[in-house]
Amino acid sequence: MGQDIHWTQFNDNPIFQNPGNAGAFKEDMRVIANYRNQWQRVTVPFSTGSFSFDSKYKNWGFGFLGFHDQVGDGKLRTIETQLNLNRAFILDKWPQHTFRPGINIGMNYRQINWSQLYFDNQYNGYIFNPNAPNNEAFQTDSKVNLSIGIGITDTWVLSERWSFQSGISSFNLNRPNQGFYNQVVLRDVRWNLFTKGSYVLNSDWVLQPSFQYSKQGKYQELMLGGLARYQFSKKDHIQLYGGLWWRNKDALALNFAYEKGPIYAGISYDINFSKLVPASNARGGFELSFKYVISRFKPKQIIHRVCPDFI
């Protein structure tokens, strides 16, 4: 029935994870780019690229996300654009919590190249001739659909050392038809549940454990792990990250990142340990992430004014 794309560095693609994550950061604007290349050892590699921009205005968070995904011999291509909107609010009973319910609206375009595929009709009983006509009549090679999703996040500041961010979201709620034939093939609803924490160990080290669970139709994915952040240089605002992720029954991923001021760059690699190992030779997916944050200039507030008589 088909599945949505997925990322190993899921915390570095926050809008795809939950519309409530749009604008949920201390700076004013954020730009994120991601790239993933998977199964190059096994078949035609699955290649995915993503770009997002998000910002905030007063209590509102908003963001745009677009991705391009191409898989298989038929170069099945998916292009999707998404608009996300949420609003932050704090309840009087829980002042240490900030809730952000949000909505996601996306436009999905899928296309396949039939000329790149081979069919049984090209086998004449003796040999297979890839140049022979396939005698197949295709009704269409592309499809456009609208998708709708919702989500909510909770930012919880427990203490000076501990803070958490959690969320639950649901995408493809309208079950768009993604079939290329007259047969209706409904896109399954994708559920996402995540929690990530931050623990300040000391002035140099911060631990960031997290997990994510996704389910779409009969397919599901559980990831556990985290990162450790080390402040390499306070003067130059340089921070280094290193961590490990475990994807249930599939892969172990190594993750490293570098941050200097507003720039963040991460890299990860999946070491496959599933039943596909005889074909994959333990090689899984290679992934890159890049983030740049922008803070608007805020003029210094003048608390006391000097009397003109003394100038």
**pLDDT for 24 beyond 80:** yes
Round to whole Å and give the CA distance between 114 and 16: 30
- Rounded Cα distance between 280 and 243, Å, is 23
Alpha helices in 93-248 (DSSP H): none
pLDDT digits (tens, 9 = 90+) for 59-101: 999 999 999 999 888 788 999 999 999 999 998 889 999 999 9
- Measured between alpha carbons, how far is residue 122 from residues 35, 114, 118, 136 in Å? 36, 14, 7, 11
At CA 152, angle to CA 31 and CA 33, rounded to 5? 20
pLDDT per residue as tens digits for the range 173-193: 999 988 887 788 899 999 999
For the whole prediction, is pTM greater than 0.85? yes
